[in-house]
Amino acid sequence: MVVIFHTPQISTAYGYERGVEEQGVKKSYLGPEAVPAGGKDTKVHLIICSSHNSGEDVERRLKEGGCEFAFLLDEDGNRVWSWQVPGEIPEKYSAGEIASFVRWYLNDYPVYSWKCHDGMLFVAAYPKGVFARTNLFWPRKQLEGLGNMAAIMFLANLILVPVLTLFFGWRFFKALKPVGKGIEALAQGQKINLEEKGILGDLKRKINRAGTILETQKEALEKRDSTRTEWIAGVSHDIRTPLSLIMGYADQMQQDVHMDEKNRKLAEMMREQSIFIRNLIEDLNLTSKLTYHARPLRLQEYCPAALLRKITAGFYDSGELTENYSLTLEVAAGLEREKYVGDTVLLERLFKNLIGNSIRHNPDGCRIRFSAWQKEEGFVAAVSDDGSGIPEAVRKKVQAETTSDQEPHVMGILVAAKIAQAHEGSLSFSEDGKTVFVYLQNLSRQSILEKNSKRVSYDDKNR
């Protein structure tokens, strides 16, 4: 007969002979001869069903398979063959004992068994703790219902997955909403204090830290700007007092009938230079306030045509236009009845600076043309002359295209540009630098106040 057994590690075929040789089969004794309970006259051997295998090959295969020991039981439970069986393993087993260990353990050794012909039972054991034997029992009705159960679980997953996706998506959106508001508040320069908990607690903590850093930097910048503005205002005030005395003395000397002509001209030069210094200080002070939003707009309704006529008449009345200069005004008919909102004091300063710039930088005289016309949602006022024009270096400086160490003096035009920007307008130049264009939008009072809220609030805070 042939005994075929398969374990997790080995697969071997054995032949079993009781008392006779089978033709063509080479016998190989696998171990010591075992004598069955029937007596010693009948020898029982295990042989390899092959003409080339030997007992050593079988033992080698058992070792390579990781077996601890192996034995063969006859139909009466007697051990008829064994290999490396320890002394604690009995030689005879009852039917109950066999039924117990073939499914579980034999003295804590996990075992595997195979039924052979003639009621023989082959048993292979593995070291303790290497394998774990289990024996599963499942009610047949439950097995028959596994298909329905799988279908139900599949449908439940189809419903549960989108529900969970929506739930966690909603939670994430709810947690992300205050983060978005916090970032928006940071962009607007506002203080933030997000609640640092939830799934985005770490992100909120970092945003709060960034907000604290930005707020500290903002306060430092505001303090620096405020200090600078106050310092310029203080210096301007301190210079203005002695300057007024110098102008007064120069005026008295100029009007003194006992003063000779030479000294009278010197007094006139002192007065003119004092006026220049005074205007320069005022421009410096105003530029600082406009730059750091320390000067609010005092808005009122005005007519552009009337404002430009007033400025032109002021130059003739003040005597600034000598015989070498001429100033003409041209206003488009459409502007005669238009009404705008703005700070008329600053707007007068804007156009006076531009006209005065043409007078100062053309000492030999020039013709100045002052014109205005409507454009889109506002109007354009242009100041041009036939003199030398504004140098390119000055134009680039005003338009912030260069920041060289040797920059030209641009205070008057820079103040004009700042005033135009405060009215949501712009200042530009012609290619040859002989014309300055000022564009002012026709904005409402509320629009200008909203866009210049920082200026107004800063001024209110420092009143």
Query: For all residues of the chain together, what is the average pLDDT?
Result: 76
At 443, which CATH number?
A: 3.30.565.10
- The answer to whether residues 45 and 29 touch, using CB atoms and an 8 Å cutoff, is yes
- Tell me, yes or no, whether 169 lies in a domain: no
Is 252 inside any structural domain?
no
Instruction: Report if residue 345 sits inside a domain.
Output: yes
pTM for this entry: 0.47
Element (H, E) at 372: strand 366-375
pLDDT of residue 268 exceeding 70, the answer is yes
Beta bridge partners of 379: 374, 440
Look up residue 159 and give its amino acid.
I
* Residues contacting residue 214 through CB under 8 Å, at least 6 positions apart: 186, 189
pLDDT reported for residue 445:
56
Lowest mean pLDDT segment, chosen from 228-237, 305-314, 429-438, 444-453: 444-453
Query: Where are the strands (E) in 400-442, listed by range?
Result: 426-429, 435-441
pLDDT > 50? residue 346: yes
Is 238 contained in some domain?
no
How far apart CA 183 and CA 203 sit, in angstroms, is 11
The confidence score (pLDDT) of residue 177 equals: 84
Nearest to 415 by CA among 384, 441, 438, 433: 438
Query: Which of 125, 147, 176 finishes a domain?
Result: 125
pLDDT > 70? residue 444: no
Higher pLDDT, 204 or 27: 204
Q: Residue 49: inside a domain, yes or no?
A: yes
Query: pLDDT at position 159, please?
Result: 92
Residue 29 has pLDDT above 60, yes or no: no
Domain that holds residue 373: 295-461
More confident residue, 373 or 30: 373
Strand partners, 432: none
Strand-pair partners of 340: 302
Give me the torsion for CA of 287, 293, 298, 304, rounded to 10°.
60
pLDDT-derived band at 98, boundaries 50, 70, 90: confident
**Percent of residues, the chain, with pLDDT higher than 90:** 16
Q: What is the pLDDT of residue 366?
A: 92
Query: Looking at the 3D structure of the chain, how many domains does it have?
Result: 2
Report whether pLDDT(60) > 50.
yes
Query: What backbone torsions phi and psi does residue 50 show, to the nearest 5 degrees?
Result: -160, 150
Sign, CA torsion 73/79/81/84: positive
Q: What is the pLDDT of residue 231?
A: 72
Question: What is the predicted pLDDT for the residue at 354?
Answer: 92
End-of-domain residue from the set 83, 108, 125 = 125
Residue 357 within a domain: yes
The answer to whether residue 196 scores a pLDDT higher than 70 is yes
Query: Among 90, 125, 160, which residue terminates a domain?
Result: 125
Burial class (CB in 10 A: 0-12, 13-18, 19+), 35: middle
pLDDT the model gives residue 263: 83
What would the mean pLDDT of 12-39 be, rounded to a whole number? 38
> pLDDT at residue 289 above 80?
no
Average pLDDT, integer, range 95-124: 85
Q: Among candidates 292, 372, 370, 280, which has minimal Cα distance to 332?
A: 372
Does any domain span residue 451? yes
pLDDT of residue 32: 36
Q: Which residues face 82 on adjacent strands?
A: 71
pLDDT greater at residue 268 or residue 366: 366
The CA distance from 321 to 177, in Å, is 64
Q: What is the mean pLDDT of residues 446-450?
A: 57
Per-residue pLDDT, 371: 94
108: left (phi over 0), alpha (psi -120 to 50) or beta: left
User: Mean per-residue pLDDT for 240-248?
Assistant: 80
